[in-house]
Structure 1
Amino acid sequence: MTSKKNSHISTDLIHHGYTPPAEFDSPQPGTFKASTVFFPNVAAMRQREWKDKSAYTYGTHGTPTSFTLEERLCTLEGGKHCVLTPSGLSALAVASFAVLKTGDHVLLPDNSYGPNKTLAEGELTSFGISHTYYDAMDPQDLASKIQSNTQLVWLEAPGSVSMEFPDLIELVKICQSRQILTALDNTWGAGLAFKPFDLLGNGSLSVGLTAHALTKYPSGGGDVLMGSVMTCDDALALKLKMTMMRLGICVGPNDVESILRSLPTIALRYASQDRCARQLASWWKDQKACVQVLHPAIEGSPGHSHWQALCAPNGDQGHAAGLFSVMLHPSFTQTQVDAFCDSLKLFKLGYSWGGPFSLVVPYKIENMRSHWPSHLHQGHLVRFSTGFEDPQDLILDLSQGAKQCLNF
């Protein structure tokens, strides 16, 4: 019991002398919330360094809670340094802002995440940074489009929405031979499908950095927005941290707490949604309404052999996430396709993925690519992401929707 020392209760409540004992441990780490961080003396205030995580200086630079998540994410993806951002898109932006300057050139796959392309066409262009799109399924197209001022090449495996899996190893080798930094959007792989910082398993080939929408699988609840950027390069890590500091980018501790709570089950959730997606994709292969199934682990899908080489090198089932697309027959109208999506009762209409609910979204590829990809059949693309519903229940839902809206 601490005795009263000041003349007013409010002062005593603010400057209370009690400190709980330090010997406490539990399944979940503590959540530290701070803007201001106290220093014991002026010398410590002047000497503390936040960049190497050896001390704390201000809330935007990290707390024990954010440092813990960063280190656990490094364990997940195999990186050495990690910074947390407020969303997956902000992670992409921080990565580009940290390494690009006026006069530089960046290459992006034509099938990359739409907002990353929009960022290149908007802010990067306004900053005097040029960009070119390359065919992710043709390594020589990438090689031919590298310019003398190319400083960064973005990679995705698989491509956004259309789900084709590139020869990631060959793409990285090309960039490595030209000493060009590679940045991989690793949201789909999540550190589980393959190791981005050790692509060949012998330490000889690595991407330069990864961006990860923690909103998806690390969160797993469909209720948290967050991203991360990771690297094994010390100098690059400092660039990322300084960019974060100058822009004032940080994350809320309650969101960090949510992801820390979910992270221990990520492998179980990822595997469960992967199994479900494969069952649904296989069902679609037998449907007359479907002209193409786009799922890296399904034989015949564009880039399936590349997925096998990277994600299932031992001939096992490998890992492939809970995301896939189908191309519906071109004879359907867009109205029919939209009605099919509306008719589904278990699949919710919504963006993102990785949460407990299965989702469906119809896309217009012609509005997302510079041209119609030769490996895609003509038709209407619909993307599905699996949640935790029973696969047979989801198949029954797809069946009733197809019968109602997609009969020839």
Structure 2
Amino acid sequence: MQQPAPQASDLATRLVHHDYLPPAGFVAPQPGVHKASTVIFPNVAAMRSREWKDKSGYTYGLHGTPTTFILEERLCALEGGLQCVLVPSGLAAIANVGLALLKPGDEVLIPDNAYGPGKDLALGELARFGIRHVLYDPLDPADLAARITPATRLVWLEAPGSVTMEFPDLCEQVRICRARGVTTALDNTWGAGLAFAPFDLLGDGGGQGRAGSLGVDISAHALTKYPSGGGDVLMGSVITRDAGLHMKIKLTHMRLGLGVGANDAEAVLRALPSVGLRYRAHDEAARTLAHWLQQHPAVAQVLHPALPDSPGHAHWKALCGAAQGGQGAAAGLFSVMIDARHGQEQVDAFCDSLRLFKLGYSWGGPMSLVVPYQLASMRTRPTPHLRPGTLVRFSVGLEAVQDLQQDLQQALDRAFAAG
């Protein structure tokens, strides 16, 4: 046992080595916030034998503290996983997976509508490491099957697609990859563990963190969005159920020196109990506005998985339709195609005229956001399911839906007065 600090004559030494410890047994609704780079060991034997990989002990701040261990376990409960690592952002989660599982000569398949920075990672760093990437059509499982080769080691899945909101046949995609022995990684930021269970896609595992007969191998999640909920935290997670796969990810995580701040972990822990309530509120408001915008003459198409004519709606209904009392779950995002007769200048003026919807990236926070996109620069494959026009994405926050509708109305009137 480590000896108590000797009594020192100097105040500075006494302050650093003060031996008071508060009594154990303090319990409160929120876990304590443990901040540490250095972790103190009681003796040399403990220093040499303590293990961090299985969470049986603490060795260094990057390898975990009570605060981050608690957050990891609660996120596993949210998504139905068994192991979790925390990283500084959602993009870092994608990078952690790729760098852990791919080597020179390997191939990764990515849906053409995937999160843009993830594709940029493949174009940049992965390509420089000798890792090839191939884009596939997310709405055509046969195209995915045809592009899997003996070199394919990882397939990324995204449901729905970034910005254009197509919902794929996720179950069939996983079946195809499983039959070929290829690891699947899902960007589950939109689903958030609430719209569907990534490790139990058929719902036959009984819930409560148990795996079903069909599920992804890895769930990557930008905690920046719904788990955080405040628009003020950057964090990501990588969740698995297979111990060997987790250890590959965890060792790469360690070698890259990835870590998260204790106060950020605290913020996510504080927000998690309300994530279900917030998710449903975002969803309900987004659906109300999406249905309403379908009636406006300037809007050629509304892209929202819960709308019957949105690309992939049947797949959304099959996977997410039982959630929220049979209403399905669909997050708070949707996009619209402004009719092609209106130019980019008019669309930009519409976005600039919005008062409550602020111009800004990301989503899942309390404030509603809007972003106009130049879709041609984001897709390599034809998009016949999208009508001609200019795409605008909305992230619906927690404001009163009637106020958001009035804001949209006044901006539409200003920009598209002639219809």
What's the TM-score once normalised by structure 2's chain length?
0.96
> 1:88 touches 1:215 (CA, 8 Å); kept in 2?
yes
Q: How far has the Cα of 1:178 moved from its partner? A: 0.4
What SS is found at the alignment partner of 1:267? helix
Q: Kindly provide the amino acid, as one letter, of the partner of residue 291 in structure 1.
A: A
Name the structure 2 match of 1:182: 184
CA displacement, residues 256-315 of structure 1 (integer Å, 9 cap, x when unaligned): 011001111000000000000000000111111111110001111000000000001489
Q: How far has the Cα of 1:135 moved from its partner? A: 0.3
> 1:157 touches 1:186 (CA, 8 Å); kept in 2?
yes
**Structure 2: how far apart are the matches of 1:206 and 1:102?**
27
Q: How far has the Cα of 1:371 moved from its partner? A: 3.1
Structure 2 counterpart of 1:403, from 377, 391, 413: 413
What SS is found at the alignment partner of 2:110? strand
CA-based RMSD of the aligned residues comes to: 1.3
**Structure 2: how far apart are the matches of 1:276 and 1:372?**
31
Structure 1 counterpart of 2:225, from 208, 216, 240: 216
Q: How far has the Cα of 1:23 moved from its partner? A: 1.5
2:245 aligned with 1:236: yes
Q: Kindly provide the amino acid, as one letter, of the partner of residue 92 in structure 1.
A: I
2:208 aligned with 1:206: no
> 1:108 touches 1:154 (CA, 8 Å); kept in 2?
yes
CA displacement, residues 315-346 of structure 1 (integer Å, 9 cap, x when unaligned): 92110000000011000010000000000000
**Structure 2: how far apart are the matches of 1:197 and 1:299?**
26
Q: How far has the Cα of 1:5 moved from its partner? A: 2.0
What SS is found at the alignment partner of 1:387? coil
Structure 2 counterpart of 1:312, from 313, 321, 331: 321
**Structure 1: how far apart are the matches of 2:348 and 2:223?**
29
Within a 5 Å distance, the mapping from 1:253-332 to structure 2 comes to 253-313=262-322, 316-332=326-342
2:150 aligned with 1:140: no
What SS is found at the alignment partner of 1:230? strand
Q: How far has the Cα of 1:4 moved from its partner? A: 9.0
2:12 aligned with 1:10: yes
What SS is found at the alignment partner of 1:384? strand
**Structure 1: how far apart are the matches of 2:321 and 2:263?**
36
Q: Kindly provide the amino acid, as one letter, of the partner of residue 5 in structure 1.
A: Q
CA displacement, residues 46-80 of structure 1 (integer Å, 9 cap, x when unaligned): 10000000100000000000000000000000000
Name the structure 2 match of 1:26: 28
- Count the aligned residue pairs: 407
**Structure 1: how far apart are the matches of 2:384 and 2:265?**
42
**Structure 2: how far apart are the matches of 1:214 and 1:380?**
29
> 1:48 touches 1:56 (CA, 8 Å); kept in 2?
yes
Structure 1 counterpart of 2:390, from 380, 383, 394: 380
Q: Which runs of 5 or more residues in structure 2 are unaligned?
A: 205-211
**Structure 1: how far apart are the matches of 2:38 and 2:409?**
56
**Structure 1: how far apart are the matches of 2:342 and 2:104?**
47
Percent identity (aligned):
63
Cα 1:18–1:406 change in 2 (3 A) is same
Q: Kindly provide the amino acid, as one letter, of the partner of residue 151 in structure 1.
A: R
Q: How far has the Cα of 1:365 moved from its partner? A: 1.0
Name the structure 1 match of 2:400: 390
**Structure 2: how far apart are the matches of 1:178 and 1:258?**
41
**Structure 2: how far apart are the matches of 1:187 and 1:3?**
48
**Structure 1: how far apart are the matches of 2:381 and 2:341?**
20
What SS is found at the alignment partner of 2:85? strand
Structure 2 counterpart of 1:151, from 150, 153, 161: 153
Name the structure 1 match of 2:207: none
Within a 5 Å distance, the mapping from 1:109-124 to structure 2 comes to 109-124=111-126
**Structure 2: how far apart are the matches of 1:149 and 1:4?**
62
> 1:48 touches 1:57 (CA, 8 Å); kept in 2?
yes
Within a 5 Å distance, the mapping from 1:28-177 to structure 2 comes to 28-177=30-179
**Structure 2: how far apart are the matches of 1:246 and 1:110?**
30
> 1:158 touches 1:296 (CA, 8 Å); kept in 2?
yes
Q: Kindly provide the amino acid, as one letter, of the partner of residue 139 in structure 2.
A: M
**Structure 1: how far apart are the matches of 2:86 and 2:177?**
26
**Structure 1: how far apart are the matches of 2:387 and 2:229?**
32
**Structure 1: how far apart are the matches of 2:242 and 2:231?**
31
> 2:5 touches 2:18 (CA, 8 Å); kept in 1?
no
